[in-house]
Amino acid sequence: MKLDSNVKIKPKYWNSIPWISDQTATALYPNIYLPEKTYRDLQKTSPDPYNIARLIHEQTHIKRIKNIGVVKFALKYLLDSKFRISEELIATKEGMKFIKSKKLTWDIEKSARYLSGWLYLWPVSFDYAKNELEKIWKEI
């Protein structure tokens, strides 16, 4: 798959920062930074659909940052937990659409653990995240 020029491998020195470690993808407008393993997989002829969904998730963030404005988005994302969870659910929905179109399953429990956990500064409870993800999955 051909990747856009704004999709890059995450610099190795970022691995020491928990929120942007080698396990996470990061959208910092205008670029998307992926773990090397994910980036390499996406360059294959038939990449893992879950990595494609991950890229779609980050592309959604980039589009929304552009529409909202870089500074406004960053401040709201950092300071407003309701905005943060809303943005994550919007981006997750886009990835879910792709996965569902491939007739694959989504690990809602795992996503709910991430969305309700330290990575996103505990914006909501696990039950809330799980409920929202289940609603989104059924809706699409």
For residue 21, pLDDT over 90 is answered with no
Asked whether residue 1 is assigned to any structural domain, the reply reads no
Asked whether residue 78 is assigned to any structural domain, the reply reads yes
Those residues whose C-beta lies under 8 Å from the C-beta of residue 68, and which sit 6 or more positions away, are: 76
Asked whether residue 14 is assigned to any structural domain, the reply reads yes
> What angle, 0 to 180 degrees and rounded to 10, lies between the N-to-C axes of helices 81-101 and 126-139?
40
pLDDT band at 32 (very low <50, low <70, confident <90, very high): very high
**Number of folded domains in the chain?**
1
Asked whether residue 113 is assigned to any structural domain, the reply reads yes
What distance in Å separates the CA atoms of residue 102 and residue 112, rounded to the nearest whole number? 21
Asked whether residue 2 is assigned to any structural domain, the reply reads no
- Looking only at the bridges linking them, the beta strands covering 26-28 and 31-34 are antiparallel
Span 70-91, average pLDDT: 98
Span 34-39, average pLDDT: 96
Record the pTM: 0.94
Asked whether residue 47 is assigned to any structural domain, the reply reads yes
Q: Residue 72 in 3-state DSSP?
A: helix
Task: Tell me the per-residue pLDDT of 110-129, one tens digit each, with 9 for 90 and over.
Answer: 999 999 999 899 999 999 99
Asked whether residue 85 is assigned to any structural domain, the reply reads yes
For residue 106, pLDDT over 70 is answered with yes
Domain that holds residue 26: 7-139
Distance of CA 12 to the CA centre of its chain: 19
